[in-house]
Amino acid sequence: MANKVRPVVQMAVAWSPYPEFTHGTEGGLPLLPVGWAPKPLLATVRQLKTLGLRPGGHDPVAVLYGYSRTGGAQWFANLYLISTAKPMLAMTPAKWRALAKANLARRCCPECGRDRGYIIAPSLGMCFPCVEDSENTDPATPSEVAA
């Protein structure tokens, strides 16, 4: 796999009043190789999250790129201005209730209606005892799994 050679271009950027060196553009945004992005000014979504921030509706101002260590595949990540990021939304009691309700719905078997204490596999659509019962068509050998 031959890595594309990208020319170094000096261009106007959102994070600096002066033209900065980039590797051209990707999707209309300045493209920066790993190590070129100014860490105090730009961050990826995950880096914002570790800072307790979120993009807050702002569009990315640059694209970071690098190569996978194992496969050599190229990867891209959007970079956001830390100065325009907003604090992460706090969990309210209503949000916790909604989350608990959604998790309960994932644990309840639609066949027997019981809270199984684990996530019902969507590929099965029912809990393991119900799968056992539906597969066991011979009435002489009842299911060993306690319901």
Backbone angles phi, psi at 3, to 5 degrees: -75, 135
Give the residue with the Cβ less far from Zn ion, 26 or 111. 111
Residue nearest to Zn ion (CB): 109
Dihedral sign of CA atoms 14, 15, 17, 20 in order: negative
Binding mask 52-91 for Zn ion (x = CB under 5 A): ----------------------------------------
Q: How many CB atoms lie within 10 A of CB 13?
A: 20
Which strands, in side-by-side order, build the sheet including 29-33? 25-26, 29-33, 62-67, 74-81, 42-43
Task: State whether the Cα torsion 98-99-105-108 is positive or negative.
Answer: negative
| Closer residue to Zn ion (CB): 74 or 134 | 134
Site membership for Zn ion, residue 109 (CB under 5 A): yes
Q: How far is the CB of 127 from Zn ion (least distance, A)?
A: 4
Q: Does 130 bind Zn ion (CB under 5 A)?
A: yes
- Closer to Zn ion by CB, 85 or 120: give it: 120
Interface with Zn ion in residues 1-20 (CB under 5 A) = none
Under the criterion CB under 5 A, does residue 132 sit at the interface with Zn ion? Answer: no
Q: What is the DSSP letter of 143?
A: -
Q: Does 120 bind Zn ion (CB under 5 A)?
A: no
- 9: nearest Cα among 27, 35, 31, 28: 31
Interacting residues toward Zn ion by CB under 5 A: 109, 111-112, 126-127, 130
